[in-house]
Amino acid sequence: MTRLVSHFRSSVGSKVVMALTGLGLIVYVVFHMLGNLQVFEGPHALNSYAALLHEMPILLWTARLGLLSIAVVHIVLAIQLTLRNRRARPTAYAIREYRQASLASRTMAVSGVVLLLFIVFHLLHVTAGVVDPSFSDRVDAEGYRDVYARLIHAFRNPLIVGLYLAGQLGLGLHVSHAVSSSLQSLGLEHAAFNRLFKSAGPAVALLVVLGNVAIILAVFLGIVRA
Write out the residues near another protein by the rule CB under 8 A. Answer: 3-4, 7, 10-16, 81, 84-85, 87-102, 105-106, 108, 177, 180-181, 184-189, 194
Q: How far is C-alpha 119 from the geometric centre of its chain's CA atoms? A: 8
CB of 82 to another protein, least distance (A): 9
| Angle at alpha carbon of residue 62, lines to 57 and 66, rounded to 5° | 150
Helix (H) or strand (E) holding 163: helix 158-185
For another protein, give the closer residue by CB, 12 or 65: 12
- Provide the 10 A C-beta neighbour count for residue 24: 17
Of 70, 30, 41, 55, residue with least CA distance to 211: 30
CB of 89 to another protein, least distance (A): 4
d(CA 134, CA 126): 11
CB of 34 to another protein, least distance (A): 27
For another protein, give the closer residue by CB, 90 or 143: 90
CB of 201 to another protein, least distance (A): 10
Please, what's the b/e burial string for 172-195 (b: 16 or more CB within 10 A of its CB; e: otherwise)? Answer: bbbbbbbbbbbbebeeeeeeeeee
- Provide the 10 A C-beta neighbour count for residue 127: 9
For another protein, give the closer residue by CB, 54 or 106: 106
For another protein, give the closer residue by CB, 188 or 217: 188
CB of 112 to another protein, least distance (A): 12
* H-assigned helices in 55-100: 57-88
For another protein, give the closer residue by CB, 36 or 180: 180
